Amino acid sequence: MDSIIARTLSKTYRSGKSETHALRGIDLDIPAGELFGLVGPDGAGKTTLIRILVSLILPDQGTASVGGMDVVRDYGLLRRRIGYVPGRFSLYQDLTVQENLHFFASVFGVNADEQYGSVREIYKYLEPFRNRKAGQLSGGMKQKLALSCALIHHPSVLFLDEPTTGVDAVSRKEFWILLSQLRSQGMTIFVSTPYMDEAARCDRVGLIQEGKMLRIDTPSAIVREFPLTLYALSTDRMSRVKADLSGCAEVRSAFAFGTNYHLTFYTEEGPRTCVHLLQQKGHSSIRLEVIQPGIEDCFMYFMKEA
Amino acid sequence: MKVRVIMAMIRKEFAQFFRDPANIRMLIVMPVVQLLLLPLAADYEVKSVRVCIVDSDHSPLSHELTAKIAANPHMHVGCKAESFEQALEGMERDEIDIALLIPAHFERDLVRNQNPVLSASVHAVNGQRASVGSQYLLQILADFNNKVRMNWLQLPKFNPVPLVDITHTYLYNPRMDYPSYMVPGILVILLTMVGFSLASMNLVREKEIGTIEQINVSPVRKSEFILGKLIPFWILGLVVLTLGLGIAAVFYGIYPRGSVGTIYAFASLYLLAILGLALLLSAFAQTQQQVMLVSYFVMMIFILLSGLYTSVESMPPWAQMTTHLNPVAHFIVVIRMVVLKGSTLSDILPHVGAMAAMAGILLPLAIWSYRKHF
């Protein structure tokens, strides 16, 4: 059974005479129990889509339902069944960890102390800080508190808007482990992120750009769909690679990936022409080899082709 | 509406409020300072009117008049200008308030019954000072006039026409002292400012820091949310009122002649209306700055047209009409009636009705507009 369904969702923001098309006809079918990742650059419409699904804003067109409840008509019921962690920390910074949890527990009509069980996995990180003001927590701890508050009422669907933005690498990893644990308990999770490497941890990912869903598939299927041969390039003068390659018509795409450049070419001759050109420009110890594309390469490709 | 949710909101509000020491200081220091300072500043008594007497007569009678004016405790006869022009120059330099010209042959004309004319010019930039000052002067002159008549004119044994003499007594505030009049009024302003600014700022703050997002996806209803905001500030408002009444009693010796219960009953209703308006305004504002400017504007109009400083009866008719819609004006009338006159609930019934109507309109409106704007 599908848990999150959207049909031709559109949303346009107007301010004065300028219009921003945040969403242009989004279709979604996410089965219950799936960990779904929404990936896209800033301004792609990720937050707008989530805010519609959690009933915070109304779509201009289209319909959506979560767990069988319409996001416009049944918003009252819907809000009892979902958890939402907004991109911006939205708990009371001047209240302590415990006070925040207790407040949201009473708002949802559950007993916070009894519910500690359900958020135990997360709360164990927070326990030592329970009397600290939420505003004085680190970024990672804030996110764990936000997650605890969103889970206090046992939601069946959890929405997270860029939960790992501005959080250090270790906390990010911990956070994703928590999400997989929740998923294994049967919760449907919808998470947006600008970090493509995180997409590989999802059951399926949706690639969104300029309000349109480019692709929805499992990470491995997306990688398989990569139609080109991908090369990794390294030379002794990496800082000049971009400028020196710009004159080469054979290069289809070039993106910096860590210490390498990932390249694709229009023709079979491409790699040889490119190495030749770089040698002329004074590069040495040039290494160009075929590699398996990662999910980020695929996103870069699909976004460029869209 | 669920009591549990409202209680959770209230507990949260108080926890936040008392966590910030600045709030507590504001709640206590603001009423104390305002009540101790403002009544002194808002004192209309004109203590010293600077009079310049230009005596062109130099007769015993003109000297007597000068001496009589100088003897008045409110009058300060300073300058001795040679001519009326010179006296007016002094007025130009803001050195004198009233220039009085005693014309030449004043005594002679008076004795000959030729009605000599004294002319006084009053510095009227400060209208209050001018009218009170000239009142004082007129009173002295009237006194002087009577005495002259007694001494110089042969009065018939019996008055040919019957005379009506008017005497008056000031009721309710016999010594006409300003604190008893001003302090209750300022207490109203205080209650209004504390309630209004705390409530409106608090609500917009939730929008500004985004905490309202989390509330909006929770099952908290708008009515529960608004009530959860209203009740804490309603309680704090009554705390300020208590504090203010205490200061009025301790420092000014003002004890309400009427029942304190009546004041609390009306204040409770009043706070509902004021907080309703504050929450309504903050439903439309996006930032604390916006709501602060708007509330400043609204407060200013309410206070200036409230009859705190100027009596409502002396306002133009249209302004008098607006006071019916001004909650501050109603409360000021009521608190003065109860404190000074000892009015009871039945005396202030029309005001209670007006306030109930305002609260009855503003509160649902605040809840309703929250439905739309979030």
Shared domain for A216 and A237, answered yes or no, is: no
Shared domain for A125 and A218, answered yes or no, is: yes
Shared domain for A43 and A150, answered yes or no, is: yes
Shared domain for A215 and A83, answered yes or no, is: yes
Identify the closest residue of chain B to A55 by CA–CA distance.
B217
Return the top range by mean pLDDT from B46-55, B141-150, B196-205, B305-314: B196-205
Closest to B17 in 3D by CA, of B176, B229, B266: B229
Shared domain for A254 and A178, answered yes or no, is: no
Shared domain for A55 and A90, answered yes or no, is: yes
Give A254's strand partners.
A263
Q: Tell me if B5 and A106 make a contact (CB, 8 A cut-off).
A: yes
Of A80, A90, A95, the CB nearest to B219: A80
Q: Does B161 touch chain A (CB under 8 A)?
A: no
Which pLDDT tens digit goes with each residue over A199-233?
A: 889 999 999 999 999 889 999 898 888 888 899 88
pLDDT class for B373, splitting at 50, 70, 90? Answer: very low
Shared domain for A124 and A263, answered yes or no, is: no
From chain A, the residues in CB contact with B15 under 8 A are 95, 99
Which pLDDT tens digit goes with each residue over A264-284?
A: 888 888 888 888 888 888 888
Choose the mutation target among B1, B3, B16, B211 for the interface with A, i.e. most A CBs under 10 Å: B211
Q: Which domain holds residue A292?
A: 230-305
Shared domain for A92 and A129, answered yes or no, is: yes
Shared domain for A114 and A158, answered yes or no, is: yes
Give the closest-approach CA distance of B216 to chain A in angstroms.
Answer: 7
Domain stop point among A224, A251, A274: A224
Domain stop point among A208, A224, A240: A224
Least confident range from A12-26, B151-165, B246-260, B277-291: namely B151-165
Give the closest-approach CA distance of B311 to chain A in angstroms.
Answer: 45
Q: Tell me if A90 and B214 make a contact (CB, 8 A cut-off).
A: yes
Output the domain CATH number for residue A235.
3.30.70.100
Identify the closest residue of chain B to A155 by CA–CA distance.
B218
- With contact defined as beta carbons under 8 Å apart, do A236 and A281 qualify? no
Q: Does B317 touch chain A (CB under 8 A)?
A: no
Shared domain for A207 and A282, answered yes or no, is: no
Output the domain CATH number for residue A178.
3.40.50.300
**HEC-encoded secondary structure of B77-139:** ECCCCCCHHHHHHHHHCCCCCEEEEECCCHHHHHHCCCCCCCEEEECCCCHHHHHHHHHHHHH
φ and ψ of A90, to 5 deg: -120, 25
Q: Tell me if B219 and A103 make a contact (CB, 8 A cut-off).
A: no
Closest to A267 in 3D by CA, of A286, A252, A280, A254: A252
Using CA atoms, how far residue A88 sits from A151, A178, A199, B170, B212, in Å, is 17, 19, 21, 64, 11
Q: Tell me if A56 and B217 make a contact (CB, 8 A cut-off).
A: yes
Count how many domains chain A has. 2
Which pLDDT tens digit goes with each residue over B169-204?
A: 767 766 667 778 888 998 999 899 888 888 988 889
Structural domains in chain B? 3-42+175-372 (no CATH), 49-152 (3.40.1710.10)
| Residues of chain A predicted below pLDDT 70 | 1, 115-118
Q: Tell me if B219 and A108 make a contact (CB, 8 A cut-off).
A: yes
Domain stop point among A163, A189, A224: A224
Shared domain for A77 and A16, answered yes or no, is: yes
Shared domain for A28 and A157, answered yes or no, is: yes
What is residue B160's predicted lDDT score, i.e. its pLDDT?
58
Starting at the edge strand found earlier in the chain, the sheet holding A188-193 runs: A82-85, A157-161, A188-193, A35-39, A204-209, A212-217
